[in-house]
Amino acid sequence: MTVTVIKASYSGYKLWLKISAIVLCCASPLAMSQQLFDDLVTLTSPAHAGRSAGSDKPNISAQFIYERFQQLGLQTEYQRFSFKIGFSAQAIGHNVVAKLPCNAQPCGKAIVVSAHYDHLGTKGNKIYAGANDNASGTAALLAVAQHLKDAKRFYPVILLATDAEEKGLHGAKYYTSKMNKQEYALNINLDMLALNQKSTLYVMHSRTAKPYVEVLASLKAHDFKLKLASSPQRMRRLVGTERVDWLKASDHYAFHRAGLPYLYFGMGEDKNHHSVKDTIEQIDFEKYQHVVNFISDFMVALLDCPLDCTS
C-alpha cells in the first residue's frame, strides 16, 4: 500500500515464538491464532523475497496463498493478467481468487474481500519483507476465510489476493474489469493492519456503504480504537496527514471506480512504510490479532444478516 505507522514489542514477538508450540495444541481460537502467526511468518520469510510482482508463473507467495485456500476447502483459481511497467514493457501478475457460496436463502450479491499480497521484492542484498504492507492484510484474508467457511452466509464471498498493487493497483483493476458489477454488493479491502502506538484502526468507506457501516458500528472493538471516515478528506484529518490520497491508496479504489461501495480497513500512516524496517519484529502481534478477530466478527455478522437488514 501507500502508508502506515507501527511500533511494536520485539520482546513480545520473542515471547510469542516461545509459546507458539503450546498455542498450537490448544483450543480452536488459539490454534487459529497460531495459524495467523505462521502465515505472517511465512509471507515475510526470506524465501518469499519481498513478494515482488511480475513473473510468468505464480510466484512462491501466490502458490502459498492458493494452497492455504485449498486446505480450507475453498474453490480456488489463479487469475493471470498483464500489466505495463516503464514506458513500454509488459509483466505478468497473478491474482489468487477463492469463493465461498451462499449457504442460506435468500442469497444476495457477492461481497469481495481483497488484500494485496505483493510488495517491493529485493534491491541488491536487501529484502523488503513488507510485514505490515501487506503481509498483515494477506494473513488476515486467510484468517477471515477460515472464520467464514463454517459461518451462515446470506451472501457469496469472494476472497481476492491481488498482485501488482504496488505497481499501480493492477491486480484489482484487472479483476474489476472482468467482473459483472451487477452481481456484487460490496468490497472490503484490507491493507496494513498492524496497529502502531495510537492503537487505532481506521475504516474509510464510501457513502453508499452506509448500511454495512451500521453493522460495523454495532460491534465493540477490543483494546483498540475504531475510527470511521466517510471521505478521503475526513480520513486525512483523522490520520493527521495531508500527503496521502486515501481514496487511491489501495485496491478499494479500483472497486470504487467500478461503482461498488467499499470499506477500507487500515492503520493509517507507517513510519516504516516501503523500507527494510517493515518486518515482523515491528508488529505487535497481540494488537494485530485483535484487529483480525474484529474484522472476522464483522464479516460473520454481515453475512448472517438477511438482505432486508442492511436496506
**Continuous H helices in 206-284:** 210-217, 232-239, 252-257
Confidence of residue 29 (pLDDT cuts 50, 70, 90): low
Query: Which of 299, 14, 273, 7 has its CA nearest to residue 159?
Result: 299
Query: Which of 210, 295, 200 has its CA nearest to residue 238?
Result: 200
Rg (CA), the chain: 18
Overall residue count recorded for the chain in this entry:
311
**What pLDDT shows up at residue 86?**
86
Q: What is the mean pLDDT of residues 301-305?
A: 95
Inter-CA distances, 97 with 55, 170, 172, Å = 18, 15, 11
Q: What is the mean pLDDT of residues 78-107?
A: 96
Q: What is the mean pLDDT of residues 92-96?
A: 98
Is the pTM above the cut of 0.95?
no
67, 305, 247, 233 alpha-carbon torsion, rounded to 10°: -150
Judging by beta carbons within 10 Å of its beta carbon (0-12, 13-18, 19+), is residue 251 exposed, middle or buried?
A: buried
162 has which bridge partners? Answer: 116
CA–CA gap between residue 222 and residue 294 (Å, rounded): 8
CA–CA gap between residue 70 and residue 264 (Å, rounded): 26
Cell digits of residue 153: 452466509
Question: In the Cβ-directed half-sphere of 97, how many Cα atoms lie within 13 Å?
Answer: 18
Residue 51 contacts by C-beta under 8 Å, 6 or more apart in sequence? 43, 59, 61, 117, 118, 119, 121, 130, 135
The pLDDT of residue 191 is above 50: yes
Cell digits of residue 16: 510469542
% the chain with pLDDT above 70: 89
**What pLDDT shows up at residue 6?**
29
**What pLDDT shows up at residue 87?**
87
